[in-house]
Amino acid sequence: MDAVFSNFDDYLKAFGLTIGLFVVAGIASLVWGTILAVLRVGPISILNKAAALYVTLFRNTPLLMIFIFMAIAMPVLGYNFKFVEDVEIGGYNVSAFFFRSCIALTLYTSAFVCEAMRSGVNAVPLGQAEAGRAIGLTFAQSMQLVVLPQAARAIIPPMTSVLIALIKNTSVAAAFGMAEAVATMKALTNNNADQRTGIFLAFAVGYIIIVEVVALASYAVERKVRVAR
C-alpha cells in the first residue's frame, strides 16, 4: 500500500481520468443511445432498420476491437482526430487520445443504452402512445411527454447496469494511451513488485467507490420516479 500512498497524486489523477472518461462517454452514450432508441421505435421504417443494424453491429463487436479500430486503424487511415487538440475548453485542451477513447466507448455503450431504452419503452402500454398521438401530439412529443417519462422507471435498472459496465470498460483505454486507473495500477505494480496485493486492493476499492456512487444515485432516481407515478 505504501506505493499507493507515496504516489497518491498519481492515484487520484488516474481515477480522475477514469471518471472523466466515464462522464464524457456516459453523457454522449445516453444522448446518442436515446436518439437510436427513438429511431428504432419510430414510424420511419428505414431509420428503424438503420438503428437496428447499428445496435447489431456495435453490440456484437468486442469493445477492444472498436478501440483498436479507433486508436490504431483510423490513424493509419489518416484520421487521428488531432484537430480536437486545437479546441480549448476552460483552459484545458482535450487530447486526441481522450477523444478517440470516448468515441470508442460511446460507439459501444450507446448500443446498450438504446436497448435499455427500448426495453423501457416496450414496458409502456402501446395505448399510452396511441392516446398521445390521438390528441395530436407528434411522434417526438408523444415520446418526450408520454412514453419516455413512463419508461424511465423500467429503464433505470438496466441503464444502471449499462453505466456500471461503462465505468469498468474505461479500463480498456489503459492499452490505448490513457493513464487511467488500470494503467497506473500496472505502472505501480511494475515498479513495486513487493506490494502487488496492496496496490491491487487500493485500485479495486477505487472502482468500488465509483460504482457504488452510481448505484446509489440510480436508487435515488428510481425512488423519485416511483413517487411521481
Partner 1 sequence: MRFIRTKAIIATAGLALSLAACGDAGDDGGNATEVDVQENAADAFDDGTAMKDFADSGKITIGVKFDQPGIGFKGAADDMPKGFDPEIGKILAASLGIAPEDITWKETISDNREPFLQEGEVDLVIASYSITDERRQVVGQAGPYYVTGQQLLVGTDSDIASLDDVKGKEVCSVTGSTSLENIKAEGAKPRGFDTYSECVDQVLSGTVDAMTTDGAILLGYAAEHPDDLKVVVDPFSEERYGVGYSKDKPEMCQWIVDTIKKAEDDGDWDAAFEATLGQSGVDTPEPPAMDECPAA
Partner 2 sequence: MTAQESTPVSAGRGEPLVVLSGVQKHFGQLHALKDIELSVARGEVVVVIGPSGSGKSTLCRAINRLETIDEGTITLDGQPLPQEGKALAALRAEVGMVFQSFNLFAHKTILENVTLGPIKVRGMKKEEAEKQARELLDRVGVGHQAEKYPAQLSGGQQQRVAIARALAMEPKVMLFDEPTSALDPEMIKEVLDVMVDLAQQGMTMVVVTHEMGFARTAADRVVFMADGAIIEENTPEEFFTNPTSDRAKDFLGKILKH
Please give the residue ranges that form the binding site for partner 2 (CB under 8 A): 43-44, 125, 127-128, 130-139, 141, 145-146, 149-150, 228-229
Measure Cα distances from 215 to 29, 120, 222 in Å: 18, 18, 10
The whole-angstrom separation of Cα 170 and Cα 185 is 14
- Tell me the closest approach of the beta carbon of residue 191 to partner 1, in angstroms: 6
If the CB atoms of residues 134 and 220 are measured against partner 2, the closer one turns out to be 134
The torsion angles phi and psi of 135, rounded to 5 degrees, stand at -90, 10
| b/e code 118-153 from CB counts within 10 Å (16+ = b) | bbbbeebeeeebeebeeeebebeebbeebbbebbbb
The reply on whether position 193 binds partner 1 by CB under 8 A is: yes
Given candidates 123, 191, 209, 224, which one binds partner 1 under the rule CB under 8 A? 191
The reply on whether position 194 binds partner 1 by CB under 8 A is: yes
Measure Cα distances from 30 to 24, 106, 110, 207 in Å: 10, 9, 7, 21
What is the dihedral angle through the alpha carbons of 212, 215, 217, 219, rounded to the nearest 10 degrees? -130
What part of residues 63-102 is at the interface with partner 1 (CB under 8 A)? Answer: 71-72, 75-76, 80, 82, 95-97
If the CB atoms of residues 23 and 131 are measured against partner 2, the closer one turns out to be 131
If the CB atoms of residues 20 and 149 are measured against partner 2, the closer one turns out to be 149
The reply on whether position 168 binds partner 1 by CB under 8 A is: no
Binding site for partner 1 (CB under 8 A): 71-72, 75-76, 80, 82, 95-97, 174-179, 182-196
